[in-house]
């Protein structure tokens, strides 16, 4: 099995603190910059799986960097540089406590809720008689609260503004950016024979301006279907061939794990971890349209430390 980076403990010049997320480790530099390390950790159902996925961090970081560059004309984003294949350095912003999820199709958790009788999805009223993986007439924005621990909760635009989580003015900017980013992502995916099914965006604020932050259009934040065969599979009620983290969730469900009380995480074998790695690389090559080049290095942490330190010293 290839090397996987599941933990970091750097001490960069000017470092004020570090936040270890489910997948990314974020280092605060002088309260001005963020060094975001995309590790090889993988999470599902709000729990980190016990084994890392080789090259997953590189895949996520490089896809996100390419899409941040490809959408910088739509809205300002935090990215300044990618000094290492697993690292993005950018502007430190004050993140909003909501995630902007936008859905083009009824699938995933939205379908599970719909199947259980939900017809009001974050203030969006859904018609009766919809089927799994059916396309919405217009993409729906279904925000969630951004929980420090545990599950994120669905919330409506009205509730967000009423609770003071985001001002009306800032929310409307985020909403406008979300729709424009999803439109661009959909167009890029279509050029590669893919359907961008749904995704999430995170925003923050710096000097009074709203910025797009974190990752964008990666398999951790998005779901893709293959366009070829979508309609036939939909009409037959068959599962779609997809490129996203959903296949990991489905594998866990098949092994009776949804992070509910009493459930036990199934064993993640080296062979399964490598198969997940192959799926992430497959998505990279499809959505980017380039061969994925595996970065060498048995000591990933040492490589990252060297590359980031060199960048920080030159700025």
Nearest by Cα to 207 from 94, 96, 97? 94
What is the mean pLDDT of the segment spanning 35-63?
Answer: 94
> Residue 124: pLDDT band by 50, 70, 90 thresholds?
very high
Q: What average pLDDT does the segment 268-273 reach?
A: 92
Q: What is residue 149's predicted lDDT score, i.e. its pLDDT?
A: 59
**Sign, CA torsion 169/171/174/179:** negative
pLDDT score, position 1: 45
Q: Pick from 301, 282, 302, 300: which is nearest to 291 by CA? A: 282
The CATH number for 172's domain is 3.30.470.20
Average pLDDT of the residues in 43-69: 94
Domain of 109? Answer: 97-205+219-244
In percent, the amount of the chain with pLDDT more than 90 equals: 86
Position 296 pLDDT exceeds 80: no
Beta strands in the chain (DSSP E): 15-20, 24-29, 33-38, 43-44, 47-48, 79-84, 87-91, 94-95, 98-106, 120-121, 124-125, 134-141, 144-145, 194-206, 209-213, 222-226, 242-244
How far is it, in rounded angstroms, from Cα 25 to Cα 60? 13
**Number of domains the chain is built from:** 1
252: tokens are 């866990």
Q: Is residue 52 part of a domain?
A: no
The one-character DSSP state at 290 is: S
- Average pLDDT for 99-119: 96
Query: Does any domain span residue 148?
Result: yes
| Nearest to 114, CA basis, from 102, 101, 98, 125 | 125
Residue 150 has pLDDT above 60, yes or no: no
Place of tokens 């590189």: 58
Domain for residue 53, yes or no? no
pTM: 0.90
Per-residue pLDDT tens for 207-229?
A: 999 999 999 999 889 999 999 99
- Residue at 284 is within a domain: no
Residue 3 located in a structural domain: no
Q: Is residue 288 part of a domain?
A: no
Q: Identify whether 81 is part of a domain.
A: no
Averaged pLDDT of the chain: 94
| Tens-digit pLDDT profile for residues 162-173 | 999 999 999 999
Is residue 57, in this structure, part of any structural domain at all? no
């Amino acid at each position: 099995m290839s090397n996987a980076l599941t933990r970091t403990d750097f001490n960069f010049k000017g470092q004020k603190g570090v936040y270890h997320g489910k997948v990314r480790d974020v280092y605060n530099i002088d309260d001005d910059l963020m060094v975001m390390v995309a590790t090889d950790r993988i999470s599902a159902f709000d729990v980190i799986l016990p084994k890392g996925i080789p090259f997953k961090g590189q895949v996520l970081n490089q896809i996100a960097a390419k899409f941040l560059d490809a959408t910088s004309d739509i809205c300002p984003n935090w990215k300044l540089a990618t000094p290492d294949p697993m690292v993005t350095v950018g502007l430190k912003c004050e993140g909003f406590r909501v995630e902007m999820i936008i859905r083009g199709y009824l699938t995933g958790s939205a379908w599970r809720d719909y199947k259980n009788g939900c017809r009001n999805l974050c203030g969006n009223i859904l018609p009766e008689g919809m089927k799994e993986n059916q396309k919405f007439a217009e993409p729906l924005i279904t925000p969630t609260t951004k929980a420090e621990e545990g599950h994120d909760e669905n919330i409506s635009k009205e509730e967000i503004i009423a609770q003071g989580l985001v001002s009306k003015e800032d929310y409307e900017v985020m909403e406008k950016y979300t729709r424009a980013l999803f439109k661009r992502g959909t167009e890029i995916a279509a050029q590669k024979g893919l359907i961008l099914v749904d995704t999430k965006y995170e925003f923050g604020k710096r000097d009074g301006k709203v910025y797009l932050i974190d990752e964008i259009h990666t398999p951790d934040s998005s779901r893709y279907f293959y366009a070829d065969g979508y309609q036939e599979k939909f009409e037959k009620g068959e599962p779609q061939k997809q490129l996203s983290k959903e296949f990991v969730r489905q594998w866990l469900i098949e092994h009776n794990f949804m992070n509910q009380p009493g459930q036990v995480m199934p064993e993640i074998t080296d062979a399964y971890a490598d198969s997940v790695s192959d799926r992430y690389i497959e998505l990279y090559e499809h959505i980017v349209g380039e061969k994925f080049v595996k970065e060498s290095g048995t000591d990933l942490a040492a490589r990252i430390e060297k590359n980031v330190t060199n960048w920080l010293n030159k700025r």
